[in-house]
Structure 1
Amino acid sequence: MQHSLSISFHAPRTLLLLVLLPWVRGAVGQEGFCSVPPSVVAESTTKPLYWKVTNPTLSPANLQDLPGFTRSVYRWDHALITPESHVFSPLPDWVNTLGAYLITPAMGAHFSMYLAKMQENSRSGLPPKDVERYISLENHYPEQIIGSTETQPLLETPGEVFELRKLLPTSAPYDFNIHIMDFQPGEYLNVKEVHYNQHGLLLLEGQGIYRLGDSWYPVQAGDVIWMAPFVPQWYAALGKTPSRYLLYKDVNRNPL
Protein backbone atom coordinates (compact mmCIF):
# COMPACT_ATOMS: atom_id res chain seq x y z
CA MET A 1 0.00 0.00 0.00
CA GLN A 2 1.41 3.38 -0.98
CA HIS A 3 1.87 5.97 1.75
CA SER A 4 2.16 9.71 1.54
CA LEU A 5 4.24 12.04 3.59
CA SER A 6 3.17 15.53 4.54
CA ILE A 7 4.76 18.27 6.59
CA SER A 8 2.59 20.60 8.63
CA PHE A 9 3.46 23.88 10.29
CA HIS A 10 1.26 25.59 12.88
CA ALA A 11 2.19 29.23 13.06
CA PRO A 12 -0.06 31.61 11.09
CA ARG A 13 -3.79 31.69 10.79
CA THR A 14 -3.59 29.23 7.92
CA LEU A 15 -2.38 25.64 8.38
CA LEU A 16 0.29 24.86 5.83
CA LEU A 17 0.22 21.24 4.70
CA LEU A 18 2.77 20.02 2.17
CA VAL A 19 2.01 16.63 0.63
CA LEU A 20 4.98 14.84 -0.82
CA LEU A 21 3.59 12.05 -2.97
CA PRO A 22 2.80 12.22 -6.70
CA TRP A 23 -0.53 10.37 -6.35
CA VAL A 24 -1.87 13.09 -4.08
CA ARG A 25 -1.00 15.88 -6.48
CA GLY A 26 -4.06 15.30 -8.63
CA ALA A 27 -6.22 16.30 -5.70
CA VAL A 28 -4.70 19.78 -5.52
CA GLY A 29 -3.96 20.52 -9.17
CA GLN A 30 -1.82 19.46 -12.04
CA GLU A 31 1.32 19.58 -9.91
CA GLY A 32 1.95 19.27 -6.21
CA PHE A 33 3.13 22.11 -4.01
CA CYS A 34 6.59 20.59 -3.85
CA SER A 35 6.69 19.07 -7.31
CA VAL A 36 9.80 18.46 -9.39
CA PRO A 37 10.60 18.84 -13.09
CA PRO A 38 9.03 16.28 -15.49
CA SER A 39 12.41 14.64 -16.08
CA VAL A 40 12.72 13.85 -12.39
CA VAL A 41 9.12 12.69 -12.13
CA ALA A 42 9.68 10.28 -15.02
CA GLU A 43 12.56 8.73 -13.13
CA SER A 44 10.50 8.32 -9.96
CA THR A 45 7.60 6.25 -11.31
CA THR A 46 8.44 3.47 -8.89
CA LYS A 47 9.32 5.73 -5.96
CA PRO A 48 7.34 8.54 -4.32
CA LEU A 49 8.52 12.12 -4.51
CA TYR A 50 11.29 12.83 -1.97
CA TRP A 51 11.35 9.14 -1.06
CA LYS A 52 14.70 9.60 0.68
CA VAL A 53 12.98 11.65 3.38
CA THR A 54 11.53 8.45 4.82
CA ASN A 55 14.16 6.09 3.41
CA PRO A 56 17.50 7.81 4.05
CA THR A 57 20.83 6.17 3.31
CA LEU A 58 21.50 5.72 7.00
CA SER A 59 18.12 4.17 7.77
CA PRO A 60 17.19 2.41 11.02
CA ALA A 61 17.91 -0.94 9.32
CA ASN A 62 21.53 0.12 8.88
CA LEU A 63 21.82 0.88 12.59
CA GLN A 64 20.89 -2.57 13.91
CA ASP A 65 24.53 -3.30 14.70
CA LEU A 66 24.85 -0.05 16.66
CA PRO A 67 22.46 -0.36 19.61
CA GLY A 68 21.48 2.95 21.11
CA PHE A 69 23.08 5.00 18.33
CA THR A 70 21.36 8.07 16.94
CA ARG A 71 22.56 11.20 15.17
CA SER A 72 19.78 13.18 16.84
CA VAL A 73 20.92 16.05 19.06
CA TYR A 74 19.02 18.52 21.25
CA ARG A 75 20.56 21.72 22.55
CA TRP A 76 19.01 24.83 24.09
CA ASP A 77 19.40 26.77 20.82
CA HIS A 78 19.13 24.07 18.14
CA ALA A 79 18.14 20.48 17.47
CA LEU A 80 18.88 17.84 14.84
CA ILE A 81 16.15 15.20 14.62
CA THR A 82 17.09 12.26 12.39
CA PRO A 83 14.80 9.54 10.98
CA GLU A 84 15.89 6.77 13.35
CA SER A 85 14.51 8.90 16.20
CA HIS A 86 11.04 9.51 14.75
CA VAL A 87 8.21 8.23 16.92
CA PHE A 88 4.93 7.91 15.03
CA SER A 89 1.52 7.70 16.67
CA PRO A 90 -2.08 8.45 15.60
CA LEU A 91 -2.70 12.16 15.04
CA PRO A 92 -5.73 13.50 16.94
CA ASP A 93 -8.75 14.05 14.67
CA TRP A 94 -6.91 12.71 11.60
CA VAL A 95 -8.22 9.55 9.90
CA ASN A 96 -5.90 6.62 9.20
CA THR A 97 -2.83 8.82 9.70
CA LEU A 98 0.31 8.48 11.80
CA GLY A 99 2.28 11.53 12.81
CA ALA A 100 5.68 12.32 14.31
CA TYR A 101 6.12 15.68 16.05
CA LEU A 102 9.61 16.98 15.32
CA ILE A 103 9.57 20.62 16.46
CA THR A 104 7.25 22.01 19.16
CA PRO A 105 7.20 24.80 21.77
CA ALA A 106 8.40 22.21 24.32
CA MET A 107 11.92 22.58 22.89
CA GLY A 108 11.77 26.38 22.77
CA ALA A 109 10.29 26.90 19.31
CA HIS A 110 7.39 29.25 18.70
CA PHE A 111 5.88 26.94 16.08
CA SER A 112 5.17 23.23 15.57
CA MET A 113 6.35 21.03 12.71
CA TYR A 114 5.42 17.39 12.21
CA LEU A 115 5.39 14.64 9.60
CA ALA A 116 2.17 12.86 8.72
CA LYS A 117 2.11 9.45 7.02
CA MET A 118 -1.09 9.20 4.99
CA GLN A 119 -2.65 6.55 2.79
CA GLU A 120 -5.19 6.86 -0.01
CA ASN A 121 -8.09 6.67 2.45
CA SER A 122 -6.53 9.04 5.00
CA ARG A 123 -8.04 12.38 5.93
CA SER A 124 -6.55 15.32 7.77
CA GLY A 125 -8.12 17.04 10.73
CA LEU A 126 -8.67 20.76 11.25
CA PRO A 127 -5.98 22.78 13.05
CA PRO A 128 -6.51 22.78 16.82
CA LYS A 129 -8.19 25.88 18.19
CA ASP A 130 -6.31 28.57 20.08
CA VAL A 131 -2.83 27.31 19.18
CA GLU A 132 -2.02 29.48 16.16
CA ARG A 133 0.59 32.14 16.92
CA TYR A 134 -0.45 34.52 14.18
CA ILE A 135 0.45 38.20 14.60
CA SER A 136 -2.36 40.04 12.86
CA LEU A 137 -2.21 43.41 11.15
CA GLU A 138 -5.21 45.66 10.65
CA ASN A 139 -6.84 45.25 7.22
CA HIS A 140 -4.45 42.43 6.25
CA TYR A 141 -5.79 38.89 5.82
CA PRO A 142 -3.92 35.81 4.56
CA GLU A 143 -5.53 33.48 2.06
CA GLN A 144 -5.16 29.79 1.30
CA ILE A 145 -2.38 29.20 -1.22
CA ILE A 146 -2.09 26.12 -3.46
CA GLY A 147 0.59 25.88 -6.12
CA SER A 148 3.68 24.16 -7.47
CA THR A 149 7.26 24.63 -6.38
CA GLU A 150 8.62 24.65 -9.92
CA THR A 151 6.23 27.41 -11.02
CA GLN A 152 7.53 29.75 -8.34
CA PRO A 153 10.09 32.24 -9.68
CA LEU A 154 13.73 32.04 -8.73
CA LEU A 155 14.57 35.01 -6.52
CA GLU A 156 17.77 36.99 -6.47
CA THR A 157 20.24 36.01 -3.76
CA PRO A 158 22.94 38.71 -3.84
CA GLY A 159 26.33 37.30 -2.93
CA GLU A 160 25.02 33.71 -2.87
CA VAL A 161 24.98 30.89 -5.43
CA PHE A 162 22.05 28.75 -4.25
CA GLU A 163 18.60 28.88 -5.89
CA LEU A 164 15.77 30.28 -3.78
CA ARG A 165 12.01 29.98 -4.18
CA LYS A 166 9.35 31.21 -1.75
CA LEU A 167 6.12 29.23 -1.56
CA LEU A 168 3.98 31.91 0.08
CA PRO A 169 3.44 35.56 -0.87
CA THR A 170 5.99 37.93 0.62
CA SER A 171 3.31 40.52 1.43
CA ALA A 172 2.38 41.80 4.89
CA PRO A 173 -0.63 39.50 5.59
CA TYR A 174 1.74 36.54 5.99
CA ASP A 175 3.82 36.38 9.16
CA PHE A 176 5.90 33.44 7.93
CA ASN A 177 7.13 31.93 4.69
CA ILE A 178 8.32 28.57 3.39
CA HIS A 179 11.47 28.59 1.29
CA ILE A 180 12.79 25.94 -1.07
CA MET A 181 16.57 26.21 -1.35
CA ASP A 182 18.60 24.28 -3.93
CA PHE A 183 22.38 23.74 -3.84
CA GLN A 184 24.57 22.05 -6.40
CA PRO A 185 27.30 19.74 -5.03
CA GLY A 186 30.03 21.86 -3.46
CA GLU A 187 27.92 25.01 -3.10
CA TYR A 188 27.52 26.62 0.30
CA LEU A 189 26.09 29.63 2.11
CA ASN A 190 28.35 32.64 1.86
CA VAL A 191 26.78 34.42 4.85
CA LYS A 192 27.34 32.82 8.24
CA GLU A 193 23.85 33.69 9.45
CA VAL A 194 23.02 35.05 12.91
CA HIS A 195 19.53 36.61 13.11
CA TYR A 196 16.36 36.89 15.17
CA ASN A 197 14.33 34.55 12.95
CA GLN A 198 13.61 30.97 13.94
CA HIS A 199 13.88 28.16 11.40
CA GLY A 200 12.40 24.72 10.91
CA LEU A 201 14.24 22.82 8.17
CA LEU A 202 13.60 19.52 6.38
CA LEU A 203 16.31 18.22 4.06
CA LEU A 204 14.46 16.81 1.05
CA GLU A 205 17.35 15.69 -1.17
CA GLY A 206 21.09 15.30 -0.97
CA GLN A 207 23.50 15.62 1.92
CA GLY A 208 25.92 18.07 3.42
CA ILE A 209 27.31 19.71 6.54
CA TYR A 210 25.29 22.05 8.77
CA ARG A 211 26.90 24.30 11.36
CA LEU A 212 24.68 25.11 14.35
CA GLY A 213 26.36 27.16 17.07
CA ASP A 214 29.78 25.64 17.68
CA SER A 215 28.80 22.19 16.35
CA TRP A 216 29.10 20.74 12.84
CA TYR A 217 26.61 18.06 11.77
CA PRO A 218 26.67 15.74 8.74
CA VAL A 219 23.09 15.80 7.41
CA GLN A 220 21.13 14.03 4.68
CA ALA A 221 17.63 13.71 3.22
CA GLY A 222 15.12 13.11 6.00
CA ASP A 223 16.92 15.14 8.67
CA VAL A 224 15.04 17.91 10.48
CA ILE A 225 16.69 20.93 12.10
CA TRP A 226 15.35 23.52 14.53
CA MET A 227 17.29 26.77 14.82
CA ALA A 228 16.54 29.22 17.63
CA PRO A 229 17.01 32.99 17.25
CA PHE A 230 20.62 34.13 16.91
CA VAL A 231 22.20 30.68 16.73
CA PRO A 232 25.10 30.81 14.20
CA GLN A 233 24.15 28.71 11.17
CA TRP A 234 25.80 27.70 7.90
CA TYR A 235 25.34 24.97 5.28
CA ALA A 236 27.49 23.33 2.61
CA ALA A 237 26.19 20.75 0.10
CA LEU A 238 28.41 17.68 -0.23
CA GLY A 239 28.15 14.48 -2.20
CA LYS A 240 27.51 13.88 -5.90
CA THR A 241 23.87 14.95 -6.14
CA PRO A 242 22.09 18.30 -5.68
CA SER A 243 20.78 19.23 -2.27
CA ARG A 244 17.32 20.67 -1.58
CA TYR A 245 15.72 21.69 1.67
CA LEU A 246 12.48 23.20 2.86
CA LEU A 247 12.77 26.04 5.38
CA TYR A 248 10.25 27.72 7.68
CA LYS A 249 10.98 31.37 8.49
CA ASP A 250 9.00 33.95 10.46
CA VAL A 251 8.85 37.26 8.56
CA ASN A 252 7.05 40.60 8.14
CA ARG A 253 6.64 41.39 11.83
CA ASN A 254 8.62 43.68 14.10
CA PRO A 255 10.51 41.47 16.59
CA LEU A 256 9.93 44.12 19.27
Structure 2
Amino acid sequence: MKQRNYYAPHGGHPPQTQLLSDRAVFTEAYAVIPKGVFGDIVTSNLPFWEGTRLWVLARPLSGFAETFSQYIMEVAPGGGSEHPEPDTEAEGVLFVVEGEMTLTLAGERYQMQPGGYAFLPPGSDWQLRNEVDSPVHFHWVRKAYERVEGIEVPEAFVVNENDISPNEMPDTEGRWATTRFVDPVDVRHDMHVNIVTFQPGAVIPFDETHVMEHGLYVLEGKAVYHLNQDWVEVEAGDFMWLRAFCPQACYAGGPGPFRYLLYKDVNRHPKLHLGGR
Protein backbone atom coordinates (compact mmCIF):
# COMPACT_ATOMS: atom_id res chain seq x y z
CA MET A 1 0.00 0.00 0.00
CA LYS A 2 1.38 3.39 -0.98
CA GLN A 3 2.41 5.53 1.99
CA ARG A 4 0.41 8.77 2.09
CA ASN A 5 1.07 11.87 4.16
CA TYR A 6 -2.29 13.07 5.50
CA TYR A 7 -2.34 15.89 8.03
CA ALA A 8 -4.13 15.28 11.34
CA PRO A 9 -4.46 17.71 14.29
CA HIS A 10 -3.23 16.71 17.76
CA GLY A 11 -4.56 19.51 19.92
CA GLY A 12 -2.49 21.16 22.59
CA HIS A 13 -2.51 24.85 23.48
CA PRO A 14 -0.35 27.70 22.12
CA PRO A 15 2.09 29.47 24.47
CA GLN A 16 1.33 32.90 25.92
CA THR A 17 4.10 34.32 23.74
CA GLN A 18 2.31 33.52 20.49
CA LEU A 19 0.97 36.40 18.39
CA LEU A 20 -2.80 36.71 18.30
CA SER A 21 -3.04 37.35 14.55
CA ASP A 22 -3.51 34.32 12.30
CA ARG A 23 -4.98 33.37 8.93
CA ALA A 24 -8.54 32.70 10.12
CA VAL A 25 -11.16 34.33 7.88
CA PHE A 26 -14.97 34.18 8.11
CA THR A 27 -17.05 35.97 5.48
CA GLU A 28 -20.52 35.58 4.00
CA ALA A 29 -19.01 33.83 0.95
CA TYR A 30 -16.22 31.69 2.42
CA ALA A 31 -14.33 30.79 5.57
CA VAL A 32 -10.76 29.66 6.22
CA ILE A 33 -10.11 27.84 9.49
CA PRO A 34 -6.32 27.38 9.76
CA LYS A 35 -4.75 24.35 11.39
CA GLY A 36 -3.50 26.43 14.33
CA VAL A 37 -7.10 26.83 15.51
CA PHE A 38 -7.51 23.12 16.27
CA GLY A 39 -6.32 23.10 19.87
CA ASP A 40 -7.69 21.46 22.98
CA ILE A 41 -9.90 24.41 23.85
CA VAL A 42 -12.19 24.01 20.82
CA THR A 43 -12.86 20.27 20.97
CA SER A 44 -16.32 18.77 21.48
CA ASN A 45 -17.78 15.49 22.73
CA LEU A 46 -20.65 13.37 21.40
CA PRO A 47 -23.29 11.19 23.09
CA PHE A 48 -22.55 7.44 23.06
CA TRP A 49 -18.91 7.91 21.99
CA GLU A 50 -16.27 6.76 24.51
CA GLY A 51 -12.64 7.91 24.55
CA THR A 52 -13.44 10.37 21.79
CA ARG A 53 -13.14 14.07 21.10
CA LEU A 54 -13.67 15.97 17.88
CA TRP A 55 -13.17 19.24 16.08
CA VAL A 56 -16.28 20.50 14.28
CA LEU A 57 -15.20 22.00 10.96
CA ALA A 58 -18.65 22.84 9.59
CA ARG A 59 -22.30 22.58 10.62
CA PRO A 60 -25.59 23.80 9.14
CA LEU A 61 -25.92 27.41 10.27
CA SER A 62 -27.42 30.61 8.92
CA GLY A 63 -24.66 32.32 6.94
CA PHE A 64 -22.45 29.23 6.96
CA ALA A 65 -22.68 25.61 5.78
CA GLU A 66 -26.18 24.79 4.55
CA THR A 67 -26.04 21.16 3.41
CA PHE A 68 -23.51 19.28 5.56
CA SER A 69 -21.51 18.91 8.75
CA GLN A 70 -17.88 17.78 8.97
CA TYR A 71 -15.83 16.64 11.94
CA ILE A 72 -12.26 15.55 12.60
CA MET A 73 -12.63 12.69 15.06
CA GLU A 74 -9.93 11.59 17.50
CA VAL A 75 -10.60 8.21 19.13
CA ALA A 76 -8.27 6.93 21.85
CA PRO A 77 -7.25 3.28 22.21
CA GLY A 78 -10.31 1.31 23.32
CA GLY A 79 -12.64 4.15 22.37
CA GLY A 80 -15.44 4.27 19.86
CA SER A 81 -19.19 3.85 19.73
CA GLU A 82 -21.88 1.19 19.46
CA HIS A 83 -24.45 3.86 18.55
CA PRO A 84 -22.51 6.42 16.49
CA GLU A 85 -25.22 8.03 14.32
CA PRO A 86 -28.42 9.28 16.02
CA ASP A 87 -30.12 10.46 12.81
CA THR A 88 -31.63 7.64 10.74
CA GLU A 89 -31.90 9.95 7.71
CA ALA A 90 -28.22 10.97 7.78
CA GLU A 91 -25.72 9.56 5.30
CA GLY A 92 -22.04 9.72 6.05
CA VAL A 93 -18.49 9.34 4.81
CA LEU A 94 -15.56 8.32 7.01
CA PHE A 95 -12.00 8.99 5.84
CA VAL A 96 -8.98 7.93 7.91
CA VAL A 97 -5.99 10.27 8.04
CA GLU A 98 -3.94 8.73 10.87
CA GLY A 99 -3.97 5.49 12.84
CA GLU A 100 -6.24 2.47 12.49
CA MET A 101 -9.82 1.64 13.41
CA THR A 102 -12.30 -1.20 13.11
CA LEU A 103 -15.58 -0.41 11.37
CA THR A 104 -18.33 -2.97 11.80
CA LEU A 105 -20.91 -2.52 9.04
CA ALA A 106 -23.99 -4.75 8.96
CA GLY A 107 -22.05 -7.27 11.06
CA GLU A 108 -18.94 -7.33 8.83
CA ARG A 109 -15.65 -6.03 10.22
CA TYR A 110 -13.33 -3.74 8.23
CA GLN A 111 -9.84 -2.73 9.35
CA MET A 112 -9.46 0.85 8.14
CA GLN A 113 -6.03 2.48 7.82
CA PRO A 114 -4.91 5.88 6.43
CA GLY A 115 -6.67 6.45 3.11
CA GLY A 116 -9.56 4.24 4.20
CA TYR A 117 -12.95 5.50 3.01
CA ALA A 118 -16.43 4.31 3.99
CA PHE A 119 -19.77 5.45 2.59
CA LEU A 120 -22.68 4.93 5.00
CA PRO A 121 -26.19 5.38 3.58
CA PRO A 122 -29.04 6.51 5.85
CA GLY A 123 -30.18 3.87 8.30
CA SER A 124 -26.88 1.95 8.21
CA ASP A 125 -26.12 -0.46 11.03
CA TRP A 126 -22.54 0.44 11.94
CA GLN A 127 -20.20 0.59 14.93
CA LEU A 128 -16.63 1.79 15.32
CA ARG A 129 -13.78 0.89 17.67
CA ASN A 130 -10.09 1.71 18.05
CA GLU A 131 -8.53 -1.68 18.82
CA VAL A 132 -4.88 -0.60 18.59
CA ASP A 133 -2.61 1.15 21.09
CA SER A 134 -2.50 4.63 19.50
CA PRO A 135 -5.21 7.20 18.64
CA VAL A 136 -6.97 7.22 15.30
CA HIS A 137 -7.94 10.40 13.45
CA PHE A 138 -10.61 10.42 10.75
CA HIS A 139 -13.01 12.77 9.01
CA TRP A 140 -16.74 12.24 9.38
CA VAL A 141 -18.89 14.06 6.80
CA ARG A 142 -22.66 13.96 7.41
CA LYS A 143 -25.56 15.04 5.22
CA ALA A 144 -29.35 14.66 5.41
CA TYR A 145 -30.02 12.32 2.50
CA GLU A 146 -32.49 13.68 -0.05
CA ARG A 147 -34.71 10.80 -1.10
CA VAL A 148 -36.26 10.75 -4.57
CA GLU A 149 -39.32 8.62 -5.30
CA GLY A 150 -38.40 5.85 -7.71
CA ILE A 151 -34.62 6.03 -7.02
CA GLU A 152 -33.02 3.57 -4.62
CA VAL A 153 -30.70 4.63 -1.80
CA PRO A 154 -27.07 3.75 -2.68
CA GLU A 155 -25.44 0.83 -0.91
CA ALA A 156 -22.67 1.09 1.68
CA PHE A 157 -19.06 0.40 0.69
CA VAL A 158 -15.55 0.48 2.17
CA VAL A 159 -12.42 1.12 0.04
CA ASN A 160 -9.00 2.72 0.28
CA GLU A 161 -7.76 5.68 -1.76
CA ASN A 162 -4.81 3.59 -2.91
CA ASP A 163 -7.16 1.18 -4.68
CA ILE A 164 -8.63 3.89 -6.95
CA SER A 165 -6.93 5.44 -9.97
CA PRO A 166 -7.30 9.25 -10.11
CA ASN A 167 -9.11 10.79 -13.06
CA GLU A 168 -6.98 13.41 -14.80
CA MET A 169 -8.65 16.70 -15.62
CA PRO A 170 -8.67 17.11 -19.44
CA ASP A 171 -5.96 19.34 -20.96
CA THR A 172 -3.87 19.49 -17.76
CA GLU A 173 -1.21 16.86 -18.65
CA GLY A 174 -1.89 15.07 -15.36
CA ARG A 175 -1.16 18.10 -13.19
CA TRP A 176 -4.74 18.18 -11.84
CA ALA A 177 -6.59 14.96 -10.96
CA THR A 178 -9.54 13.80 -8.87
CA THR A 179 -9.89 10.52 -6.97
CA ARG A 180 -13.61 9.74 -7.26
CA PHE A 181 -15.15 7.24 -4.86
CA VAL A 182 -18.53 7.09 -6.63
CA ASP A 183 -19.61 7.44 -10.26
CA PRO A 184 -20.44 11.13 -10.89
CA VAL A 185 -23.51 10.20 -12.97
CA ASP A 186 -24.97 7.86 -10.32
CA VAL A 187 -27.93 10.02 -9.23
CA ARG A 188 -28.58 7.82 -6.21
CA HIS A 189 -25.79 9.84 -4.59
CA ASP A 190 -26.62 13.40 -3.52
CA MET A 191 -23.13 14.21 -2.27
CA HIS A 192 -19.59 13.54 -3.43
CA VAL A 193 -16.59 13.37 -1.11
CA ASN A 194 -13.51 13.12 -3.32
CA ILE A 195 -9.78 13.82 -3.15
CA VAL A 196 -8.32 16.44 -5.48
CA THR A 197 -4.58 16.46 -6.27
CA PHE A 198 -2.57 19.28 -7.85
CA GLN A 199 1.08 18.85 -8.74
CA PRO A 200 3.39 21.76 -7.82
CA GLY A 201 2.65 24.74 -10.05
CA ALA A 202 -0.71 23.41 -11.26
CA VAL A 203 -3.65 25.81 -11.30
CA ILE A 204 -7.39 26.13 -11.50
CA PRO A 205 -7.07 28.65 -14.36
CA PHE A 206 -10.42 30.40 -13.90
CA ASP A 207 -12.75 31.42 -11.08
CA GLU A 208 -15.12 28.47 -10.72
CA THR A 209 -18.59 29.78 -9.89
CA HIS A 210 -21.19 27.06 -9.36
CA VAL A 211 -24.16 25.90 -7.34
CA MET A 212 -22.31 23.26 -5.32
CA GLU A 213 -21.37 24.11 -1.74
CA HIS A 214 -17.85 23.02 -0.79
CA GLY A 215 -15.95 21.87 2.24
CA LEU A 216 -12.19 21.48 1.60
CA TYR A 217 -9.74 20.02 4.10
CA VAL A 218 -6.11 20.26 3.00
CA LEU A 219 -4.51 16.85 3.42
CA GLU A 220 -1.07 17.72 2.09
CA GLY A 221 0.95 20.61 0.64
CA LYS A 222 0.15 24.29 0.22
CA ALA A 223 -1.50 26.67 -2.24
CA VAL A 224 -2.80 30.18 -2.78
CA TYR A 225 -6.58 30.35 -3.23
CA HIS A 226 -8.55 33.10 -4.94
CA LEU A 227 -11.87 33.30 -3.08
CA ASN A 228 -14.44 35.98 -3.92
CA GLN A 229 -11.70 38.42 -5.04
CA ASP A 230 -9.46 37.70 -2.01
CA TRP A 231 -6.15 35.85 -2.15
CA VAL A 232 -5.54 33.53 0.83
CA GLU A 233 -2.71 31.09 1.57
CA VAL A 234 -3.60 27.62 2.78
CA GLU A 235 -1.57 24.60 3.87
CA ALA A 236 -1.98 21.06 5.17
CA GLY A 237 -4.40 21.01 8.10
CA ASP A 238 -6.46 24.04 7.00
CA PHE A 239 -10.18 23.85 6.27
CA MET A 240 -12.12 25.98 3.78
CA TRP A 241 -15.87 26.40 3.46
CA LEU A 242 -17.09 27.87 0.16
CA ARG A 243 -20.68 28.99 -0.22
CA ALA A 244 -22.58 28.11 -3.38
CA PHE A 245 -21.46 30.41 -6.23
CA CYS A 246 -18.38 31.68 -4.35
CA PRO A 247 -15.74 32.32 -7.08
CA GLN A 248 -12.75 30.04 -6.51
CA ALA A 249 -9.40 29.34 -8.17
CA CYS A 250 -5.93 28.36 -6.94
CA TYR A 251 -2.21 28.04 -7.58
CA ALA A 252 -0.54 24.98 -6.05
CA GLY A 253 2.76 25.65 -4.32
CA GLY A 254 5.66 23.24 -3.85
CA PRO A 255 7.71 21.32 -3.20
CA GLY A 256 5.19 18.44 -3.12
CA PRO A 257 1.62 17.88 -4.28
CA PHE A 258 -1.30 19.94 -2.97
CA ARG A 259 -4.15 17.60 -1.99
CA TYR A 260 -7.51 18.10 -0.30
CA LEU A 261 -10.61 16.19 0.74
CA LEU A 262 -13.54 17.82 -1.06
CA TYR A 263 -17.26 17.74 -0.18
CA LYS A 264 -19.96 18.95 -2.55
CA ASP A 265 -23.74 18.50 -2.84
CA VAL A 266 -24.87 17.13 -6.21
CA ASN A 267 -27.63 15.55 -8.29
CA ARG A 268 -30.70 17.18 -6.76
CA HIS A 269 -33.08 20.03 -7.67
CA PRO A 270 -32.51 23.23 -5.69
CA LYS A 271 -35.22 23.67 -3.09
CA LEU A 272 -37.79 26.27 -4.13
CA HIS A 273 -39.56 26.75 -0.80
CA LEU A 274 -38.30 27.82 2.59
CA GLY A 275 -38.30 24.91 4.97
CA GLY A 276 -37.16 22.47 2.28
CA ARG A 277 -40.52 21.42 0.79
Equivalent residue number for residue 165 of structure 2 = 153
Name the TM-score, length of structure 2 as normaliser: 0.68
Task: Provide the C-alpha distance between the structure 2 equivalents of 1:176 and 1:135, rounded to a whole number of angstroms.
Answer: 10
Tell me the equivalent position of 2:74: 117
- Match 1:177 to one of 161, 174, 192: 192
Partner of 2:151: 139
Question: Structure 1: where are the runs of 5+ without partners?
Answer: 1-36, 42-48
Answer yes or no: is the 8 Å Cα contact 2:196–2:259 preserved in 1.
yes
Following superposition of structure 1 onto structure 2, how do residues 47-126 of structure 1 map, counting pairs within 5 Å?
49-50=5-6, 52-54=7-9, 61=14, 65-86=17-38, 87-106=42-61, 107-109=63-65, 110-124=67-81, 125-126=83-84
**Aligned position for 2:177:** 163
Equivalent in the alignment of 2:210: 195
Measure the CA separation in 2 of the matches of 1:246 and 1:135.
22
> By how many angstroms is 1:91 displaced?
2.2
Q: Which residue of 1 aligns with 2:87?
A: 129
**Structure 1 64/152 Cα, relative in aligned 2: closer, same or farther at 3 Å?**
farther
For 1:89 and 1:70, how far apart are their aligned partners in 2? 22
Q: Which runs of 5+ in 2 are unaligned?
A: 91-143, 272-277
Percent identity, aligned pairs only? 31
What's the CA shift string for 1:12-49, capped at 9, x where partnerless? xxxxxxxxxxxxxxxxxxxxxxxxx53x36xxxxxxx5
Name the CA distance, whole Å, in 1 between partners of 2:29 and 2:70: 16
Higher RCO structure, 1 or 2 (CA under 8 Å, sep 6+) = 1
- Which letter does structure 1 place at the counterpart of 2:157? I
Distance (whole Å) between structure 1 residues aligned to residue 28 and residue 86 of structure 2: 27
Distance in 1, matches of 2:169 and 2:229, equals 26
Give RMSD over aligned pairs: 2.3
Instruction: Tell me the SS of whatever aligns to 1:190.
Output: strand
Q: Which residue among 204, 216, 226 is the counterpart of 2:219?
A: 204
User: What's 2:269 paired with?
Assistant: 254
Deviation at 1:216, TM superposition (A): 1.1
Kept after mapping to 1: 8 A contact 2:89/2:145:
no
Q: Does the CA-based 8 Å contact 1:53-1:203 persist in structure 2?
A: no
Determine the structure 2 residue equivalent to 1:28: none
CA deviation vs aligned residue, 1:217-245 (integer Å, no higher than 9, x gap): 11000000000000001121112111111
Measured in 1, the distance between the counterparts of 2:8 and 2:221 equals 10
Structure 1 residue ranges (4+ consecutive) displaced by more than 3 angstroms after TM superposition: 63-67
Shifted more, 179-188 versus 130-139: the winner is 130-139
Higher helix share: 1
Equivalent residue number for residue 129 of structure 2: none
Kept after mapping to 1: 8 A contact 2:211/2:244: yes
Secondary structure of 1:192's counterpart equals strand
TM-score w.r.t. the length of structure 1 is 0.74
More strand by share: 2
**SS of the residue aligned with 2:244?**
coil
Query: Does residue 238 of structure 1 match 2:193?
Result: no
Count of aligned pairs between the two proteins: 208
Distance (whole Å) between structure 2 residues aligned to residue 114 and residue 80 of structure 1: 15
Contact 1:60 1:83 in 2 (8 A): no
Q: Distance in 1 between matches of 2:201 and 2:79?
A: 40
Q: Counterpart of 1:84 in 2: which secondary structure?
A: helix
